[in-house]
A = this chain, B = another copy of it.
Amino acid sequence: MVILSNARVLIINPNSNAAVTGAMAKAVAGLSGSTGVDFDTRSLDGAPLGIESDLDAAVVAPLLAQMVRDEDDRYDAFIIGCFLDPGLQACRTVTDKPVFGIGECGVFAALTHADQFGVLALSEASVGRHKPIFRRLGVADRLAGELPLSISVADAVGNEAVYPKLGEAARTLRDTHGAGAVVLGCAGMAGHRSRLQRDTGMVVIDPVQAAAARALGALLPT
């Protein structure tokens, strides 16, 4: 085992919803510990319960930068746990350690599997917010489609009853839009991943897992 001893990654949930933070911790449990890299998760005190608007994203950005600055000595990498990647560039100005956004990591992970990717968004408004982001990333031409689930963050994370909505949207992305892989467009939904992957035969990406795996890669020695 040659990974940096005691390397530590902090995954920050930019909202104050402990259930989302808990779901993130569970999603990356398989990477923590035995690799020599610990993944900690943290909610953002004072943040809204969900990042559901560009205003929410703006409000938490400086708080995230403050937390990264405060924790800079204790961690080797940081992950911003919201699909909108709030404050990502700002956080990078306060540390020399890598800072990853789960939105970017999730989308790029999907593209390592298939030519066209789809996204499951919580709401119609999310779909609109993601368009300029995908254009900025350069991946707009590889987006097969993005469909809104019309569910709340709370439901996405903890309510098994919403699963049929995910299944239906993912199948539409596959059959109508030509998606070859699907990204869960919100943190905390990893609990649906295996089932959705099995039911649709498509690769399903949880963006938190994608970012955690990327962080592990960045911390590899040599």
B116 near A112: Cβ-Cβ < 8 Å: no
**Chain copies in the assembly?**
6
For A141, list chain B residues within 8 Å (CB).
Answer: 135, 138, 140
In this complex, what residue of B is CB-closest to A114? Answer: B92
A29 in contact with B58 given A116-B128, A206-B222 (CB within 8 Å):
no
User: Which stretch of A13-21, A98-106, A155-163 is in the interface?
Assistant: A98-106
A119 at the interface (CB under 8 A from B): no
A52 → chain B closest CB, angstroms:
10
A203 near B218: Cβ-Cβ < 8 Å: yes
For A209, list chain B residues within 8 Å (CB).
Answer: 217, 220, 222
Main secondary structure of the interface of A (DSSP, over half): helix
Complex Cα gap A104–B112 (Å): 6
Q: What is the interface of chain A, defined by CB distance below 8 A to chain B?
A: 1-3, 26-31, 33-36, 53-55, 57-59, 61-62, 65, 87, 89-90, 92-94, 96, 98, 100-101, 104-105, 108-109, 111-113, 115-116, 127-129, 131-133, 135-142, 178, 180, 190-194, 201, 203, 206, 209-214, 216-218, 220-222
A selection of 19 A-B contacts at a CB cut-off of 8 Å is: A1-B30, A27-B222, A53-B93, A54-B89, A57-B90, A58-B87, A61-B61, A104-B111, A104-B112, A108-B109, A116-B131, A132-B136, A138-B138, A138-B140, A138-B142, A192-B222, A206-B220, A213-B213, A214-B214
